[in-house]
Amino acid sequence: MTSRTGSAPRIDLHTHSTASDGTLPPADLVRAAATAGLDVLAITDHDTTAGWAPAVDALPPGLRLVRGAELSCRWSGTRPAVPLHLLAYLFDPEHPELVAELGRVRAAREERGERIVALLRADGIDVSWPDILARAGGGTVGRPHIAQALIRAGLVGSTREAFGPDWLGERYRLPKDDIDVFQAIHLVRSAGGVPVFAHPRATRRGRVVPDELIAELAAAGLAGLEADHEDHSPAEREHVRALAAELGLFVTGSSDFHGTHKTVQLGAFTTGADAYERIVAAGVTEVASG
């Protein structure tokens, strides 16, 4: 595959819209991707496919859209369980068990969000759960929405600060009821999708899983590892690349764009055409073309 200009295609396979914790509506996200010069974009909102239809409807000419999601998972091999993210591409959005599980996780996110807000309020911090939920506008709610409430209240200056240890990163951090990662891989494969481990070595976000687990996940159907991501140091990126080569997995690189909830821009990291072709070949859903 080549780009419209004949040079190497620019492929960004991990982005968020207002269907979860991004700040651009899906239609604006695909337009921004074209403006940024991308040839392929994946929309991967947390635990939802709600952004797919509006993104497809607004697809600019020449842009291809990979429909996906980022599943909130956990590995229970250590206590407490380690939370992790699984990108899933080109799966059947009507697969009953997967639909049910995504709905369950979204409900668990709301329940956790409400409990976090209760903890904050118990300490005299004036944030309102109904207000946070309303502002999420029906999108999958997450800590970035609570972070915005802390910013509005003048308690922190940025999302980054809101994720610090005094706030949502530790003191007011609560686990949510995530999907067991082996079950998630099984569900994504059953739904005809392609599972890729998002930012698997992002130690700056918290605990990460051992390489031995990644080998087990590969045996269970994991297809790829996200290597180039802003939360990976150069050494971590190299480590992920070497592990992928050892396990016969492909590697991806992506921005994990969240609009103004993060500073990273669309296309800041990109995926090679070879990995993209492997995803397209393995997925049950067609890539949409503008």
Closer to ligand AMP by CB, 59 or 257: give it.
257
Q: Which residues bind ligand AMP (CB under 6 A)?
A: 21, 46, 142-144, 159-160, 163, 205, 258, 262
**Stretch 214-253 residues interacting with Fe ion (CB under 5 A):** none
Binding site partner of 159, from ligand AMP, Zn ion, Fe ion, none, Cβ cut-off 5-8 A by kind: ligand AMP
The Cα–Cα gap between 256 and 249 comes to 20
Nearest Cα to Cα of residue 217 among 56, 84, 18, 46: 84
Closer to ligand AMP by CB, 57 or 111: give it.
111
Return the HEC string of 72-113. Answer: EEEECCCCCCEEEEEEEECCCCCCHHHHHHHHHHHHHHHHHH
**Stretch 226-265 residues interacting with Zn ion (CB under 5 A):** 256
**Is 87 near Fe ion (CB under 5 A)?**
no
**Stretch 69-128 residues interacting with Zn ion (CB under 5 A):** 70
Binding site partner of 163, from Fe ion, Zn ion, ligand AMP, none, Cβ cut-off 5-8 A by kind: ligand AMP
- Least Å distance, CB 36 to ligand AMP, is 19
Burial class (CB in 10 A: 0-12, 13-18, 19+), 165: exposed
Runs of H (alpha helix) within the chain: 26-35, 52-57, 96-122, 129-136, 143-152, 159-162, 181-190, 211-219, 234-247, 273-282
- Least Å distance, CB 245 to ligand AMP, is 27
Residue nearest to ligand AMP (CB): 142
User: Nearest 5 degrees, angle CA 191-CA 195-CA 201?
Assistant: 155
Contact with Fe ion (CB under 5 A): which of 21, 39, 47, 178?
21
Please report the sign of the dihedral spanned by the C-alpha atoms of residue 241, residue 246, residue 252, residue 256: negative
- Least Å distance, CB 16 to Zn ion, is 6
- Least Å distance, CB 122 to Zn ion, is 30
Residue nearest to Zn ion (CB): 256
Closer to ligand AMP by CB, 39 or 172: give it.
172
- Least Å distance, CB 250 to ligand AMP, is 23
**Is 198 near Fe ion (CB under 5 A)?**
yes
- Whether the bond into 54 is cis, omega within 30 of 0: no
- Least Å distance, CB 176 to ligand AMP, is 7
- Least Å distance, CB 116 to Fe ion, is 15
Q: How far is CA 52 from the centre of its chain?
A: 14
Residues 6+ apart with CB under 8 A from 138: 50
The Cα–Cα gap between 145 and 165 comes to 17
Name the phi and psi angles at 6, rounded to 5: 90, -10
- Which stretches of the chain bind Fe ion, using CB under 5 A? 21, 85, 198
Binding site for Zn ion (CB under 5 A): 70, 256
